[in-house]
Structure 1
Amino acid sequence: MNFNFLRQNTEQRRDLILNGPISSTLFLLSFPTLMMGLVQSIMPVMDGIFINNLIGTIGASAITYSGPIINMMIALAQGLSVAGMALMGQMNGRGNYKGVKHVSTQIVVFAFLIGCITAPILYLLAYPVSSNVDAQIAHDVFLYLALNSLVLPFSFLESIYNAIKNASGKPEATFIRMVIMLILKIIFNVVFIIVFPLGLVGSVMSSLLSNILICLWMFYELFIKKGEDRLTLKGFKFDTKVLLKLITIGIPSMLSSLMLNLGFFLINNETEKYGPIVLTGQGIANNITSVCFNLPSAFGSAVTTMVSMNIGAGQSAKAKKTCFQACLVSAATAAILIAIVLPLSSSLTTLFTNEQEVLTVANRSLNIYIYSVIGFGVCMVQQGAFIGLGRTRLPLVISLLRIWLLRYLFILATERVLGFYSVFWGNLFSNYAAAIISTIIILRTKWVSAISLKENKSNTTKPASVV
């Protein structure tokens, strides 16, 4: 690992992406994201160990059930994040650093505002959602959703910070943020779940305080720390042209994330009717396999950066080659992870609980679920390429196919025969089918900027600081 890479400025990083060898650049850009994926995977594992062992099966199942609902709210931030990466990445490719700063400031302020507006919506949703679940987990579902509305605005800011850094080819910054977040979460989990046994409330308090401190650090990094990428709020006013472009580009990704998590919510509804034990077992399997899903898909962010910059610089052949090399690397990474985790699966699940009924569900589910990682990783890399091209509608279509048509319908069709295990067989089937469909589409895709094509068709011109 060449650590001089970490000291490069934006211009040097751009030169590396545009002129350096694909394989080494891909690994250099992906390494921080891979490490971040590892940290992201450890975080739910640590949370799961605290929650399952100290809060219990009821609280753990409530958290598993509530996760997709919270993520539906965060879908807005993810859509803006994806749009920002595509737009800022192509601007970086053209060397328009002033424009990148302008867009960065706009998206930070706008995202925080939207997060504040969305927070009370999540609180209000807690009432109808909790009234339509198993009575055993209803109270905890309400409590978890209502309290997480306080965390929402900070989650929005973190998504945008990741977009700004990734679009500049500096994913190591997002890795540092996740490491700090993990450390804070562990400390606050000990304080609010062990020292002060506050249960589910303590779990949310841990997240809230961790997010507040992280956002203070991010504000310093973006607006106070001296450097060429420093942003400023002096004389700030909303630029409607930039915001409309971000929203237009981001809407497909927002819908993709929203529909994806709505699908997960409906799948949870199918699982929830079997009771808290099954839902908890599913949550444990998800926590353990998160490392296997996060690491292969981490190459997708690097591909977005490399494709967007190369497309912005007119290097379409290199952008295409980057995508296909990343698909092979992602598939190989997934296969290695499966070979490592699978023999350890029964030992890993016992870290979360000693309840035999929960362990039986978790172990069997994990042994089905984990094989879908290869297809998922390839699909995520190709979606990263589509985003880099500015073709954000294609990930929406693929996500809808993967969750709704391929997975949810599979579950409904096989549930009578497979029971709740249809959820995991559906995951296996849908991830590989989606990867095949995505590969067919990308082989037929023109490697040109969809953003530039839209601008040319509308015959509009933008100031140099915006486009």
Structure 2
Amino acid sequence: MIKKGFSFEINKKHFKLDKESVKNILLVGLPLSLQDAFVNISFLIITSVINTIGVIASASVGVVGKIIMFAMLPPISFGSAVSAMTAQNIGAGEHKRARKVLYYGILFSLIFGIFATLYSQFYPETLTSIFSNDIEVINSSNQYLMSFSIDCIMVSFVFCMNGYLSGIGKSIVSLIHSLIATFGVRIPLTYILNKTAGVTLYELGLAAPISTFVSILICFIYLYWTYRKDKLNYNDNNINIECDENTILL
């Protein structure tokens, strides 16, 4: 472009920050970045708690972590797609179509989530044995994977809902429910279970889907509340329009 030149004038004064754009980017992006940071911190805390059980448990968590990371790629991808498509539809004023995007995003994510969970329930050793040859580690990993894999179904809802919330510019809601579920449920539950006598990695693995379920409830409540609110506003606007038309006719 520099070599061939521009068809219009361009210089340093044309490069400046647009305050409204910067504000909108920060309102959406900052909560998402904080959410990712806090989630990663929570994983470190949970790992440190489980590490106190022993070397076998520590190795098992590492093995399952690799498997779950791969299994959650589809819902993560669909969540990103929901975010982009929701923003496009909201920008076009197609709020109903944006909700359909959320619906189908969850549906497609569930296909992969249910498959991953069912496979992990019946054939966990075929996955865990890829990363370890130690029988104890495999058996322990199987227990952890069987319970943790249920989260693959749960995140099919949460990731897509987070994408929808980001698309409508409400990523702060994603941050709030993530903090509540992670620091209010998952970490305390993991710590309490870890202190319980005779607890296994199967019980510890249940902390993930339980905390994600809390996120789902919060998201459902918020989305239902906003839907009802939008519906009431729509009805009120229709009443006003009808009154205006009647006034004109009279």
TM-score (norm. length: structure 1) = 0.43
Partner residue, 2:17? 239
Matched, 1:345 2:141: no
Matched, 1:392 2:188: no
- Which residues of structure 1 form unaligned runs of 5+? 1-222, 224-232, 449-467
* Paired residue total: 218
Shift of 1:440: 2.1
Q: Secondary structure at the match of 2:170?
A: coil
- Contact (CA 8 Å) 1:311, 1:447: kept in 2 or not? no
How many percent of aligned residue pairs carry the same amino acid?
22
Which residue among 409, 417, 425 is the counterpart of 2:206?
425
Q: Distance in 1 between the 2:28 and 2:119 partners?
A: 39
- Which residues of structure 2 form unaligned runs of 5+? 2-9, 230-250
Partner residue, 2:96? 317
Which residue among 82, 101, 108 is the counterpart of 1:329?
108
- Contact (CA 8 Å) 2:147, 2:203: kept in 1 or not? no
- Contact (CA 8 Å) 1:320, 1:447: kept in 2 or not? no
**What per-residue deviation string (whole Å, max 9, x for no partner) do you get for residues 96-115 of structure 1?**
xxxxxxxxxxxxxxxxxxxx
Shift of 1:244: 4.5
Corresponding letter in the other structure for 2:189 = F
- Contact (CA 8 Å) 2:193, 2:204: kept in 1 or not? no
Shift of 1:378: 0.6
Runs of 4+ in 1 over 6 A off after TM superposition: none
RMSD of the alignment, in Å? 2.7
Matched, 1:254 2:23: no
Partner residue, 2:239? none
Shift of 1:433: 2.6
Partner residue, 2:245? none
Shift of 1:247: 2.5
Go from structure 1 to structure 2 and tell me whether the alpha carbon gap of 1:272 and 1:237 turns closer, same or farther (over 3 Å shift): farther
Q: Distance in 1 between the 2:207 and 2:169 partners?
A: 30
Partner residue, 1:437? 218
Which residue among 265, 277, 281 is the counterpart of 2:44?
265
Corresponding letter in the other structure for 1:284 = V
- Contact (CA 8 Å) 1:415, 1:422: kept in 2 or not? no
Partner residue, 1:132? none
- Contact (CA 8 Å) 1:375, 1:434: kept in 2 or not? no
Corresponding letter in the other structure for 2:71 = C
Shift of 1:344: 3.0
- Contact (CA 8 Å) 2:79, 2:162: kept in 1 or not? yes
Q: Distance in 2 between the 1:346 and 1:237 partners?
A: 57
Shift of 1:311: 0.4
- Contact (CA 8 Å) 2:47, 2:61: kept in 1 or not? no
- Contact (CA 8 Å) 2:82, 2:167: kept in 1 or not? yes
Q: How does 1:339-418 map to 2 (within 5 A)?
A: 339-417=118-196, 418=199
Q: Return the index of the structure with the highest Cα Rg.
A: 2
Corresponding letter in the other structure for 1:437 = I
Corresponding letter in the other structure for 2:90 = I
Q: How does 1:26-425 map to 2 (within 5 A)?
A: 235=12, 237=15, 239=17, 241=19, 242-417=21-196, 418=199, 421-425=202-206
TM-score (norm. length: structure 2) = 0.77
Partner residue, 1:109? none
Go from structure 1 to structure 2 and tell me whether the alpha carbon gap of 1:317 and 1:298 turns closer, same or farther (over 3 Å shift): same
Q: Distance in 1 between the 2:117 and 2:191 partners?
A: 27
Go from structure 1 to structure 2 and tell me whether the alpha carbon gap of 1:415 and 1:341 turns closer, same or farther (over 3 Å shift): closer
